[in-house]
Amino acid sequence: MTEQTTIAWLIDDDTALTSLLQEFLESNQLRVKTFEHGQLVLTELKDQQPPDIMILDIMMPGLTGLQLLPAIRAQTDVPIIMLTGRGDEIDRIIGLEMGADDYIPKPCNPRELLARINAVTRRHQYTPKIETTQTKLSLHGLEIDLGMLTCHYNQQELELTGIEFSVLVELLQQSGRLVSKEHLTEKILQRKLTAYDRSIDVHVSRVRQKLKQAGLDKEIIKTVRGQGYQCIMS
């Protein structure tokens, strides 16, 4: 059986960069389609199936990456990696809060981008490992079905991204224990935690927000400053 080819959309007005990245990625068995403007992406999404992954530049003329991101998210949960300026930490955080899966600073090494693409697509297809014979988790009124990959509170389904679902499952499965940011980053994002990397913090924050929006007023995920997170048991 032949391995399925990953289809990537590369959205950036820097044609020299996209040409370089496209050539490298296609030499590594990806199919890449490039877009210079965000509006073209939205038009394409109306007529075509979404790709396996999008690589989205934050700074573009016309429709910026931060404007395009929620419009994409309204149509599909396709994994998205942001291309950001090396010093633009606030844009990275905002992008993650708006639903991006990961980011990579520009100028980026094509090999690192390929590694991020592989990690994010694996994450999107990932089913959390069940460490016991349980197929369901129940705690604090949350009902999680590990087979169906769903989470309910008071019979209301929470709309979690794949990463958010995996973060919540990991913390619930280790209730009462400290779970380090290093562990969450390596297991959930499938990469090493680097200095000033707040990606996992933003994903945890989004989980908290969605739990609160569902009506769970109790703060069940405790931050242990400088170390990680802990799901309280009662």
Per-residue pLDDT at 153: 93
Per-residue pLDDT at 76: 86
Q: How far is CA 230 from CA 168, 179, 187, 204, 225, in A?
A: 11, 6, 16, 11, 11
Per-residue pLDDT at 163: 84
Per-residue pLDDT at 158: 92
Q: What is the value of pTM for the model shown?
A: 0.70
Q: Which residues of the chain have pLDDT under 50?
A: 1-2, 127-132
Per-residue pLDDT at 132: 47
Per-residue pLDDT at 106: 86
What token pair was written down for 192? Answer: 């090493």
Q: Do 103 and 84 touch, CB atoms closer than 8 A?
A: yes
Per-residue pLDDT at 20: 94
| Alpha-carbon Rg for the chain in angstroms | 18
Per-residue pLDDT at 231: 94
Give all domains of the chain, ordered by start, each with its CATH number: 6-124 (3.40.50.2300), 136-231 (1.10.10.10)
Per-residue pLDDT at 87: 62
Per-residue pLDDT at 1: 36
Q: Which helix (H) or strand (E) holds 149?
A: none
